[in-house]
Amino acid sequence: MRPELETYQLIDNYLNGSLTGDAFVAFEKRMQSDAGFAEEVDLVKLSNQVVIGASIESLRQQMRADITAIDQKSMFSKVKNWSAGILLGTAVLTTGLFYVQSSKEELSKKNILNKEDATTTNTKNPLTQNSSISIQNSLPVSTSKPTKTKQTAPISTPIPSTNPVTEERTSPVVSTTPINTQAIPVIETKPAPAFVNQETINTNPCLNIHIQADITSKPSCRDQHTGSISILQNSIKGGIKPYSIQFNGSKATTKKEFYSYLSAGTYSIEIADSNGCSQHFTKDVTESNCRKTTYVFAPDKGETWKITGLDDAPFRITIINISGKTVYTSEYIDGTFEWNGFNQQGNYLDSGLYIYILESNSGEKENGQVTIAR
């Protein structure tokens, strides 16, 4: 059998599914390793797709019968029959190839036309151009011949572009229907004002806490530390017990109620409840004269009674017995008055209790007691 006929029969058996087993595996490997053989298989496959129906089946049967009978006939008959078969097969193959080639050309033409239409559409549509031309409400279209359109539009929504805003070009007409487009408005959004939740504000536990307390003070003598401040725990109201106190800027907290040995001045007090809610207070300790007003001395032992005036101002002393009789009056003096227990006439007074009146030249007075011990 001629090699080309054997090859055709092998390909035909593969295509119609009659090739199986090792022959099928060998055929597949040959197609993978031999590009020319694979192309020949594709050509036979295309020819078979063109030649359909009874004619192709009849041709196959005739060729198979001829191939089988070649070895049984004379060389002349073999040549004659094979020549007829080759001519018929060549005609069928040529027809199939022509049909396939025509189909490829037709498909190629359609693809080219589709690409041109797509290019034309992209050229006419301003949204597909890399330009800064704003969208117009409509585009006029002519149906007779290519027209030159000049588009100049203000920039509404900038789009990065390498093309100028004004473009002049010729494009084929692809539709007689106006393209209606609508400019997309750019809406400027502003952040909504934050909603203030009153409940969130009220989560501060100290917002409505007002602590009250009764705070009292006693004056301090001049140049001494005899004043005091009292803060009674049971007088504190507001907040949640127990309460703590920070006195006069001290970092230490205490529950102490009485603060003594204070000089004259203003003191700060911080009272806090168990949640740490606090209230600030101030309290003044005033200054008092705090002069000694009771004296006892023994003249027989050489003791004298001494007293100073008020605010270092000139003063005088008047001494009265318990009967209300004035027994001694001094002149206005500066500094310190010293008395030895004599009356106005220079006689010793009896032991006992006497009342003194200190009167400064400003009119301020001070009363006290002085006792003479014998």
The domain that holds 239 is classified in CATH as: 2.60.40
Q: Decide: 183 and 154 in contact? Cβ < 8 Å.
A: no
CB 310 within 8 A of CB 366: yes
Sign of CA dihedral 103, 108, 113, 114: positive
**Residue ending a domain, choose from 288, 309, 330:** 288
> How many domains does the chain divide into?
3
Give pLDDT, residue 267.
96
Residue of 293, 312, 374, 289 lying closest to 340 (CA atoms): 374
154-158, 181-185, 282-286: segment of lowest average pLDDT: 154-158
Give the tens place of pLDDT for each residue, 195-238.
Answer: 555 554 557 889 889 999 999 999 998 778 889 999 988 889 98
Label residue 319 left, alpha or beta by phi (over 0 means left) and psi (-120 to 50 means alpha): beta
Give per-residue pLDDT as tens, 129-176.
Answer: 444 433 344 444 444 444 444 444 444 444 444 444 444 444 444 444
Query: Comparing 14 with 77, which gets the higher pLDDT?
Result: 14
Asked whether residue 242 falls in the same domain as residue 311, the answer is no
Residues 31 and 96 in one domain: yes
Q: Which domain holds residue 273?
A: 215-288
> Does residue 102 share a domain with residue 9?
yes
Q: Are residues 298 and 283 in the same domain?
A: no
The tally of CA atoms less than 13 A away on the side-chain side of residue 226 is 11
Tell me if 183 is assigned to some domain.
no
Residue 321 lies in a domain: yes
Same domain (yes/no): 104, 27: yes
- DSSP 8-state symbol, 133: P
Domain annotation covers residue 160: no
53 and 38 co-located in one domain: yes
Residues 327 and 284 in one domain: no
The answer to whether residues 62 and 90 belong to one domain is: yes
Residue 71 has pLDDT above 80, yes or no: no
Residue 14 within any structural domain of the chain: yes
**Same domain assignment for residues 16 and 96:** yes
From 256, 288, 320, give the residue that closes a domain. 288
What band does 7 get if pLDDT is binned at 50, 70 and 90? confident
232/259 same-domain check: yes
Q: What is the CATH number of the domain that holds 335?
A: 2.60.40.4070
Q: Which tokens go with 166?
A: 């004004």
Residues 91 and 9 in one domain: yes
Range 57-76 average pLDDT: 65
- Cα–Cα separations (whole angstroms), residue 280 to 142, 217, 229, 283, 285: 89, 17, 15, 10, 17
Q: H helices within the chain, ranges in order?
A: 3-16, 21-33, 35-50, 54-69, 75-124, 198-201
Q: In the listed set 288, 311, 341, which residue is the last one of a domain according to the structure? A: 288
B/e letters for 62-77, b = 16+ CB within 10 Å, e = fewer, are ebeebbeebeeeeeee
